[in-house]
Structure 1
Amino acid sequence: MKTESLANGTLETWTPQEAADAFERDEIVLIDVRTPQEYSFERIEGALLAPMQAFQPAHMPGQSDKRIVFHCGSGARSKKVAEKYLAAGHDRVAHMEGGFGAWKEAGLSYTGTDMTSGAPKQMKNSG
């Protein structure tokens, strides 16, 4: 994990594998900031949805028990949301480097859409 000190707090940048490992151990809340359409097509199973366009830092869960890790498609939106979260008075938060694309590239499991039926389907890339 990389850390960056910003004016409002500390921004952590986690790799997809670091996020997956912590998520598996139930140590983090993974929050997807992509659009509902992106989320419905493919998503990390168990990640919460909080779209960037409607993001409200005050509505996020606390971090006393679990760290928040934001993610998006490429890492750009999640970094902006993390910065907005810090600007709202929080002292530390994380986002996932490379976003969902990097998650898939790493060969990690996710829920996609079966193109023959339109139904959700467990997927895993070869990485």
Structure 2
Amino acid sequence: MDTEAFETGVLEHWTPKETKKALERGEIVLIDVRTPQEFALERIDGALLSPMHSLRPAHMPGQTDKRIVFHCGSGVRSGKVAEKCLAGGFGRVAHMKGGFAAWKDAGLEYTGTDMATGAPKVMRKSD
């Protein structure tokens, strides 16, 4: 994990594999900041949806029990949301660098949409 110091706190840049391990161990809350349409088409199992356009740092849970890690499609939106949370009083926050594209490039499982049936389907990049 890389870190970046801001005037208001520390931003952590997690890899997809670090994120997956922490999610499996129940150590983090993974928050997807993409649109509901993007989330409906494909998503990381266990991630919660809080679209960037409506996310308010004051409405986020505290991080006493679990850390918050944001993710989006490429890492740009989640980085902006993380910076917004730092400005909103979070002392330390994380996002997944490279976003969902990096998750798929790492060959990690996700729920996608079977285009033949429209049903959810567990997928990997090779599917």
TM-score of the alignment, normalized to the shorter chain, above 0.5: yes
For residues 88 and 2 of structure 2, what CA distance do their matches in structure 1 show?
A: 22
**Aligned equivalent of 1:98:** 98
**Aligned equivalent of 1:123:** 123
Amino acid at match of 1:120: P
**Aligned equivalent of 1:8:** 8
Superposed displacement of residue 125, structure 1: 2.4
Give the alignment's Cα RMSD to 1 decimal.
0.7
State the 4+ residue runs in structure 1 displaced beyond 4 angstroms. none
**In the alignment, structure 1 residue 43 sits paired with structure 2 residue 43:** yes
For residues 18 and 125 of structure 1, what CA distance do their matches in structure 2 show?
A: 18
User: 5 Å matches for 1:19-58?
Assistant: 19-58=19-58
For residues 96 and 62 of structure 2, what CA distance do their matches in structure 1 show?
A: 18
For residues 39 and 113 of structure 2, what CA distance do their matches in structure 1 show?
A: 11
Amino acid at match of 1:96: M
SS in 2 for 1:93: strand
SS in 2 for 1:13: strand
For residues 80 and 43 of structure 2, what CA distance do their matches in structure 1 show?
A: 20
- Percent identity between matched residues is 70
Unaligned segments of structure 2, at least 5 residues: none
For residues 60 and 99 of structure 1, what CA distance do their matches in structure 2 show?
A: 20
Amino acid at match of 1:75: G
SS in 2 for 1:80: helix
CA displacement 1:9-55 (0-9 Å, x = unmatched): 00000000000011011100000000000000000011000000111
Superposed displacement of residue 61, structure 1: 1.2
CA displacement 1:76-117 (0-9 Å, x = unmatched): 000000000010011000000000000000000100000011
**Aligned equivalent of 1:67:** 67
For residues 45 and 120 of structure 2, what CA distance do their matches in structure 1 show?
A: 11
Calculate the TM-score normalised by the size of structure 2: 0.97
